Each structure stands twice: as C-alpha cells, then as structure tokens.
Amino acid sequence: MPSPQNQARRTSRPQRRAFRRSEWFAGPGGALEARQLLSGLSHPARVAEVRAAARAGADPGRTLDLPDALVYIPAGLEAGRAYPMVVAFTPDGKVKRTLNDWRGAADRFHWIVYASKGYSNATAGAADFDAYARSIWAMVEAAIARFPVDRTRLILAGFSGGGSFAEYVNSRAGGPAAAMVIDANGTYAYGDDPMVPFPASSAASSRRLAAFLYSPTDRRFGQATRMDQAFYHRKGWDTTLLSYKGGHVDAPPGRYLAAATWIASRPAWLA
C-alpha cells in the first residue's frame, strides 16, 4: 500500500503550481478574545479549583474539546502575554493520545497544544488534497487568533503520516514553524521534494529548530527519519535526534518532553 506521503503527493499532483501565501493564511475573526479565556483561568473559583487539583495530584490544566481539535491550556498563563503553541497531527485520529504525549511539555514550558482532528492517513487520498489541507490550516489560524499564541513560536509536530502532514503544511503555508518535531517520518529523506518544497524562509526564520524522534527498530521509517534530520541540518536548521524503543509506534511522552526541553533551551528560541 502506498505510504501517506506518496498518496498525498499523487493526489495533489494536479495542483502543481505556485502557491500564494494569501491563499493559506486565513484572517482572524469570530474569535474568542484571549482575555476572556484568561479571565476564566484567573477567576478566584478557578484558582481554588487549580490549587485543589494540584494538591490531589491531578492535572491542573484545561482541555477544550472543539470540533476541529483538542486544545490543552496549561495552568499559570498570564493575561497580556502570548505563548508558544504546538500544532500536532496524528495519522490515525487518536488525538487524545497525541494530547497526552505533549501534556508534560505543555505544563513544564507553558505551551498551548492544538491536537488537530482534521488529518488522518485515511483522508490522505482526498481528491483535492491541497484544498483539504488549506481548510485544516484555516482552523489552525482560527485557533491562533482565539488563544494567546505567540505566532513566532509555533511548533509543528506529528507522528508517522502526521509528521508528513506537518511538513506538507509547513511547506504550503510559507513556513510558519519556528520549530518542527517529527516522529518516525522522512519527507525529505531523499532531498527536496518538488511536491513539498522546503520553505526558503519562514515567519520565524531566526529560530529554525527541529527535533527528530525515531526507533532504531522501526524498519520502515527509522533510517528515513535520520536522513530527514540530515536534510534539515544541511538547510541550516539547528537539529537534534532522539531515539526510543518500540518500532513504528509514537514516542513515549518523555521523549516529547526531551524534545521540548531541547527546543526551549536553544539560544534561537530564547532570543
């Protein structure tokens, strides 16, 4: 069976043309003000709830089940500040697992997590894949407008086909990612792809950080992931490679936390 990457390339081939950035970036509108969300987090009753949850060892953050995504808002966000956001894609629609993978990093670094419900490998064969991908990115843009997000610190992430889609969207949307976290995928393992051209610049081109997660026993994508990392490195990105056991399965949450810790410690991220 063709890989999700090849399916996406084949179905998007009729759309081989120059893409205008304006086609991809949806303008804000109809969004909940960030201060409304933050006022809910800082309300005395909410503060008491968070403290009680912390004493009980429970998760003090807030998970919002939206039509397009599960969104995790960590506790402790301050009004008037913008925060990084992880935009994570999954190959199989298991967004709760994806959210749990990132929850530790979100709590540690005050990162918002947007676990998209839009993409799965089952939809990679959409008749007009590019239009389909644009619609998913429009939902991401709406979330950026709705929540207190620092647009210069977007992290695009995904496991397997979800990682392929993260790289596809970053290409088509003009490079909005300040950082990439790719788990078990290798879109650029064999060099630049005419169907997914590597962004020459980005909205946060001064950062350009990429963490790659892979299992040495993953016969399908282990080597490809390492080759993908080498490609990013040749393109001038600051990269790291983190391994885990288990074959072609998503990395354990501790590996995502390690990737986030590496990103958060890099001088480019702190600048």
Pairing of strands 149-159, 83-89: parallel
Compute how many other C-beta atoms are within 10 angstroms of the C-beta atom of residue 114: 29
* The pLDDT value given to residue 22: 32
CATH topology of domain 63-270: Rossmann fold (3.40.50)
* The pLDDT value given to residue 187: 87
Quick one: the chain helix, strand, coil %, rounded to 5?
40, 20, 40
Q: What residue ranges in 1-68 does DSSP mark as E strands?
A: 62-65
Angstrom distance (rounded) from CA 215 to CA 57: 31
134-156 burial, b if ≥16 CB within 10 A, otherwise e? bebbebbbbbbbbbbbbeebbbb
Angstrom distance (rounded) from CA 48 to CA 135: 39
Q: Which two tokens stand for residue 63?
A: 């998970």
Classify 57 as helix, strand or coil.
coil
Low-confidence ranges of the chain (pLDDT < 50): 1-59
* The pLDDT value given to residue 37: 33
How much is the pTM? 0.78
What angle is formed at CA 63 by the lines to CA 181 and CA 252, rounded to 5 degrees?
35
Length of the chain: 271
* Cα separations in angstroms, 270 against 170, 200, 206, 258: 22, 22, 11, 17
* The pLDDT value given to residue 60: 66
